[in-house]
Amino acid sequence: MNDFSSLRERYPLFLYRDYTIGETETEITFSYHFSVPGLSDFHPGWRLQKNGRETLKTDSPLFRKLVFSLGMVELISYWKIACPKEVKVCCGALTKDQVSWWKKQYFYGLGEFFYRNGIKTDEESFMELTGEGETLDTKPLSHLRGALIPIGGGKDSIVTLDLLKDFAGENDCYLLNPRGAMTGTAEAFGFFSDRQISPLRTLDPNMLRLNKEGFLNGHTPFSAILAFSGLLFCALYGKACLILSNEGSANEATVGGSEVNHQYSKSFQFEKDFCDYEKAYLGTGIQYFSLLRPWSELQIARHFATLPKLFSVFKSCNAGSKTDRWCGYCSKCLFVFIILSPFLSTKALLNIFQRNLLEDETLLTDFEGLVGLLPEKPFECVGSIDEINTAICLAIGRMKREGEPLPKLYQKYISTELYHQYSRRSNPYPHAFQEEHLIPEKYLSAIKEATRREIW
């Protein structure tokens, strides 16, 4: 029986054995060597084509420390297959405080995994983590300049690039496992292949095989992968900042009344924790922050709606990611359709999605989760319940003014108490600015000025 308790009993140990770095004239590679004794070995890897602008040697202590640290995030995808009680890191020392830091990130980053697999555990007992091996002494990097901006292909990173147009000359884009929407976004802002850092990350096929065989599976903190890998590539290319596009809405729990958050590694708590860890244990001198933290998803959607040339480029549907399209049938597609509906006509939305998702009553359960009529939101990167309801009421108001018939899901919505509650209140989002952020002064004016300029 492949449940949490029985798997831990059968496979009590997880080993982070080592990591390997390779370099040729044209590429840099690094791979990880994990093991669950009695079950399987795992060797995920990364591959990056060099562009001649590398400034950090791959055999330097700092590069090795950053590769090792990325492996600490990579391992959790393989640990969760059997959830061994003991995790032993054989290739790097960990202090007591580091152990506590990693256990916190693993536990909350796996909150959805634990919840959806019915696993009852706590931050202290779910894992025993130890680390042994060399301690690498490093110094802060010098002569850092510009920023590296991760691009996911959705509206958020597009808005970040638009806000930072005045800084474009000193920045590069980071495209992990690039697909059409990512490269299209970068190129739309003038970041062509010579200014794209585009590594390929591969999963070990043994993990995929074991998932099919019924071992434990579920969500892991992907944005933590972006954080640690992005920091590594900032160091490699001498970038002063790693600028994310995580909004304030990411702080809201996915399951009401709990700390289960699909977007935990996009939250401000993770952002603060990551910066503390970088300063205490990595010391690169690189700044990590989200430019969009002061905004909600609704504000991001409002700004995105002013960029029509990007409507045909952006894609953020996980179900359709392999074919670089909107599937048109999932909760993420529905959310994006809703959050844009106050600002774009139905005709414009149909041009993007090729169908009217708000006419599809098979999406009613997802709709009810998004607006808060169910105990949990869909397990996707979606906005807060408050702003989704606000968006719907704004959209209904727009449709009535413009003579558009209300789609079926909005017709159902107007009969709920939520409509009466939200349609009667004033919209709190125009010009809202959350002060809980880590944006350095150099970039702060870009989003503050955009906040003042927004017209609703």
Side-chain-side CA neighbours of 199 within 13 Å: the count stands at 21
Which residues, at least 6 apart from 241, have a Cβ–Cβ distance to it below 8 Å? 146, 147, 148, 234, 286, 287, 288, 289, 440, 443
Partners of residue 174 on adjacent β-strands: 150, 197
Contact in structure between 391 and 338 (CB atoms under 8 Å): yes
pLDDT for 25 equals 97
CA pair distance 195, 187, nearest whole angstrom: 9
**pLDDT tens-digit profile of 149-162?**
999 999 999 999 99
What single string gives the DSSP state of each residue in 102-141? Answer: HHHHHHHHTHHHHHHTT----TTTS-EEEE-S--------
Q: What integer is the mean pLDDT of 251-261?
A: 97
pLDDT for 277 equals 98
pLDDT for 288 equals 98
Span of 10-19, 174-183, 318-327, 409-418 with lowest mean pLDDT: 318-327
Pairing state of beta strands 147-150 and 172-174?
Answer: parallel
**pLDDT tens-digit profile of 221-246?**
999 999 999 999 999 999 999 999 99
pLDDT for 117 equals 97
CA pair distance 449, 190, nearest whole angstrom: 23
Please determine, for residue 185, whether its predicted confidence score (pLDDT) is greater than 70: yes
pLDDT for 322 equals 85
pLDDT for 2 equals 77
Query: Smallest Cα–Cα separation from 260: which of 363, 70, 108?
Result: 108
Average pLDDT value over all residues in the chain: 97
Give CA torsion, residues 371, 377, 382, 383, to 10 deg.
50
- Maximum separation of any 2 CA atoms in the chain, in Å: 69
- CB atoms under 10 Å from CB of 330, counted, come to 18
The SS3 assignment for 285 reads coil
CA pair distance 404, 409, nearest whole angstrom: 14
Q: In residues, how long is the chain?
A: 456
Side-chain-side CA neighbours of 395 within 13 Å: the count stands at 31
Please determine, for residue 1, whether its predicted confidence score (pLDDT) is greater than 90: no
Q: What integer is the mean pLDDT of 98-110?
A: 98
Is the pTM for the entire model greater than 0.85?
Answer: yes
Q: C-alpha distances in angstroms, 214 versus 79, 110, 210, 217?
A: 15, 18, 7, 8
CA pair distance 191, 343, nearest whole angstrom: 28
Give CA torsion, residues 70, 75, 76, 78, to 10 deg.
150
pLDDT-derived band at 272, boundaries 50, 70, 90: very high
